[in-house]
Amino acid sequence: MTDPLKSRVVRHSPSTGEGSPDVWGIYEPDTGSIQYICADPATRQAALIDVVWNFDPKNYRFSTESMDQVLDIVRDNDLKVQWVLDTHPHADHVMASAHLKERTGAPNAIGALVPEIAGIWAGLYNLPDAFDPTRDFDHLFEEGETFRIGDLEAKVMLSPGHTLGSITYVCGDAAFVHDTLMQPDAGTSRSDFPGGRTDELWDSIQAILALPGNTRLNVGHDYGTKERKEPMWEATVDAHRAHNIHVKDGTEREAFIERRQTRDKTLALPNRILAALQINLRGGRLPAAEGDGNHYLKLPVNRFD
């Protein structure tokens, strides 16, 4: 039997009625990432969220099977891509944004504070002119900004903490919270990357948990747990408030901060981070080819503990 945590599991979470989107979650097993399609059932217009450009860090090779799979689901369900969205510049996988923009013609977007993250990493890579999110993304979303997916209204919440530029997309009774929350039985995501802050992560999570109790929260990663051997990614606000092992109702802010920071101190860098960020901060593009026609990445050494 195939291991679900090593499979490209797809689940459809249907619209619950007027104003509610159809959501597909597509699991990317190499990085435990969940990619989303959020669609208006009436007009078939859809946003793609946090889609992966596959990167094998053992052989330094890229491939497109994840975005191909997502676009197959788009085609099979007669959807039309209206937006290519990311919640933040991911540290553990490379984003498909630039490719998807080219393949679908839809504009790509991310949060308004991503230029600040780009500034931090331009320093860490000593690449002062490499990153310009205003060049590589068609739109940078501000706090509270609204936009449409077909006839549905979507709203942006800035959700700093995991990174300073993370955002949450809320569309009807679905929200895409990426690396703020994990599933209730796994808790929350780390807050120790450059620009990350545990106190801000707490505040961002509280704002998400203040959404209506039936809101379907869709997380960005899942790796299963000791007891749970299949990937899960959707749980309601009510389920998180009742069961989330890090932030359920009754948790004290200081206790969360202490617990999160203690855990983060034990974590190594994700194995793709130094390749991923210098591509993601270019909107999912490799650095320009050099004179020999090949692309090269740059690695800072002795910069991280």
Residues contributing to the site for Fe ion (CB under 5 A)? 90, 179
CA 185 to CA 170: how far, in whole Å?
A: 23
Nearest approach, Cβ of residue 69 and Fe ion (Å):
21
Closer CB to Fe ion, 145 or 192, in the complex: 192
> Measured from the CB of residue 200, what is the shortest distance to Fe ion in angstroms?
14
| Least distance from Fe ion to the Cβ atom of residue 207, Å | 18
Nearer to Fe ion, 108 or 280 (CB): 280
Residue 90 vs 99, nearer CB to Fe ion: 90
Q: Which lies closer to Fe ion via its Cβ, residue 23 or residue 219?
A: 219
Using the minimum distance from each CB to Fe ion, give the nearer residue, 101 or 178. Answer: 178
Phi then psi for 7, rounded to 5 degrees? -120, 160
Nearest-CB residue to Fe ion?
Answer: 179
Minimal distance, residue 10 CB to Fe ion, in Å: 21
**8 A C-beta contact, residue 263 and residue 204:** no
Q: How far is the CB of 90 from Fe ion (least distance, A)?
A: 5
CB 87 within 8 A of CB 169: yes
